[in-house]
Structure 1
Amino acid sequence: MQQYWLRWENWMKQHAPRLLNILHPGVTFEAVESLEKLIGTAMPDSFKAFYAIHNGQQKARAGLVDADQLLSVEDIITQWHHWKDLLDAGTFNYHDEPVLSTPDTGIRHDWWNPLWIPFTSDGFGNHLCIDLDPAPEGKHGQIVTLWHDDSHRAIVAASFEEWLQDYLSALDKGEYIFVKKWGIVHKDTFLNYND
């Protein structure tokens, strides 16, 4: 995982050196253990190795993942509790029936599943999640989208490592730029109109 962080940090050095200052040091074993105890299963090895180098980013206006924050493990736990509280309160039920999502093949029809672990956040309830409870056609550890107000759930990558490879390759190809107000954003997004 070191090579992925080196690539990401090198991109930041060239395009947005100040972003290096918002990276947390590596996560503690105890923090990862707390997350795994909470969700009742192990996180993927690639996730743990990646977070051992940097535990996501500080809460900042600038996001590292297409304007979204790369959550620390502590923030992942906070977001997980937020979604679990909504689930336990019956928010995802209507007339005693579950509200279903419209997922890609390989994702369960839940609105939210306690084994969808959010690792990015746009601050408005939308995330990329590591799916540790895929549908039979899916793959354990696949990366899926989670929208608070949209039923579609999409598979973004087959694994955390594949997602990293794809995102860093897009950075290297110039598909993303730095915009002071938002952080790293896709060059074609509306967010880059106003720096």
Structure 2
Amino acid sequence: MREQWEQIERILRTHSCLDQIGLRQGTSCDKIAAVESHLGVNFPDSLRTLLAIHDGQDGRAGLVGGEQLLSAEQIQREWDVWRSLDEAVMNADCADFMASHPKGVIKPVYTNRAWVPLTKDRGGNHIGLDFDPDGQGTVGQVIRFGRDQDTKLLVAKSFEAFVEKLVISLSESKWNGEYLESNI
């Protein structure tokens, strides 16, 4: 993971936007463990390493397709916001129009306590880890979910694969003065 972060930092320097992206200093292993305990999950070692190197962003331009990379504290806060909803009621109310792509990989529900947000946009949508996949999915897969995401999308089969995609996306991106124009 350190090598991938070095690649990401080199790419951001090349685009002259490292300062605007605002990567934060890493957090402690104790803080990461406290968040894992609160959420009831064990992060992949690669995510722990990522948070220890850079604990999210400071709120400037989004690193991941325009979305902010969350700190450990923000991951917990966003997860708590989702837990404040009545999961059973929301899932029942939205059941008719929830879907998964590919079908059978992500449970087609509105919210799931085993989805852990890693990024956020300004509209309540996330890229995150799925610790409760549907029958054809993989524990720890990376998905798109959120308020406007009726069809939950598979982004990568693992966190490591997600970071690889991020590096490629950033290397092909363009800085427009406010955010990186990239696809992920």
TM-score (norm 1): 0.85
Q: Do the aligned residues in 1 keep the contact of 2:107 with 2:133 (CA within 8 Å)? A: yes
Helix, strand or coil for the counterpart of 2:86?
A: helix
Report how many aligned residue pairs link the two structures.
181
Given the alignment of the two structures, is residue 101 of structure 1 paired with residue 101 of structure 2, yes or no? Answer: no
2-structure distance, mates of 1:178, 1:91:
38
Q: 1:18 to 1:45 in 2, by over 3 A?
A: closer
CA-atom RMSD in angstroms: 2.0
Q: Which residue pairs with 2:73 in the alignment?
A: 74
Q: Which residue pairs with 2:43 in the alignment?
A: 43
Q: Which residue pairs with 2:27 in the alignment?
A: 27
CA deviation profile, 1:123-167 (whole Å, cap 9, x unmatched) = 210110111111121111100001312310011100111011012
Given the alignment of the two structures, is residue 134 of structure 1 paired with residue 130 of structure 2, yes or no? Answer: no
Q: Which residue pairs with 2:181 in the alignment?
A: 185
Task: State which structure, 1 or 2, has the greater radius of gyration over its C-alpha atoms.
Answer: 1
Which residue identity lines up with residue 4 of structure 1 in the other structure? Q
1-structure distance, mates of 2:106, 2:72:
24
Q: Which residue pairs with 2:4 in the alignment?
A: 4
1-structure distance, mates of 2:125, 2:113:
15
Which residue identity lines up with residue 13 of structure 2 in the other structure? K
TM-score (norm 2): 0.89
1-structure distance, mates of 2:57, 2:145:
20
Q: Do the aligned residues in 1 keep the contact of 2:108 with 2:151 (CA within 8 Å)? A: no
Question: Where in structure 1 are there 5+ consecutive unaligned residues?
Answer: 188-195
2-structure distance, mates of 1:17, 1:110:
37
